[in-house]
Amino acid sequence: MTEKYIIDAYAWIEYLIGSEAGTKVKHIIEEENNEIYTSAVTLAEVISKTARQKRNVEVAYDILISNSTVIDINEQLSKETGILHAKMRKTKKDFGLADAYVLATAIKTKAKIITSDPHFKGIKEAIII
């Protein structure tokens, strides 16, 4: 059975540094029946973090691109994200716009979010690693 997963920035960073949580992400990515997605916003977050850590941006970019399908941002997804962001901010005051894009993408693709981000705690679409 095919499972769909959105890997968020926290999880990708863990994967890239080879942490214990990253090993869990690796198993999900390497399972051949899984469909792996990344939000375009997440790609930007990971590249920014990689650059700030003075690590190889091209290697990080290639890993994300070769191991997942990047979901682009468009007008409809942005509208849905804005509505979702406003709703989430009612209960999670620091829920970020990038997190809302990831959640909206998960809802759109009917995928589970793989994350270590505490902002996703209690969200049914999220699997905290």
66-93: pLDDT as tens digits = 999 999 999 999 999 999 999 999 999 9
**pLDDT reported for residue 17:** 95
The CATH number that domain 3-128 falls under is 3.40.50.1010
Give the start-to-end residue ranges of the domains of the chain: 3-128
1-18: pLDDT as tens digits = 789 999 999 999 999 999
Q: What is the mean pLDDT of residues 82-109?
A: 95
Other C-beta atoms within 10 Å of 19: how many?
14
pTM beyond 0.85: the answer is: yes
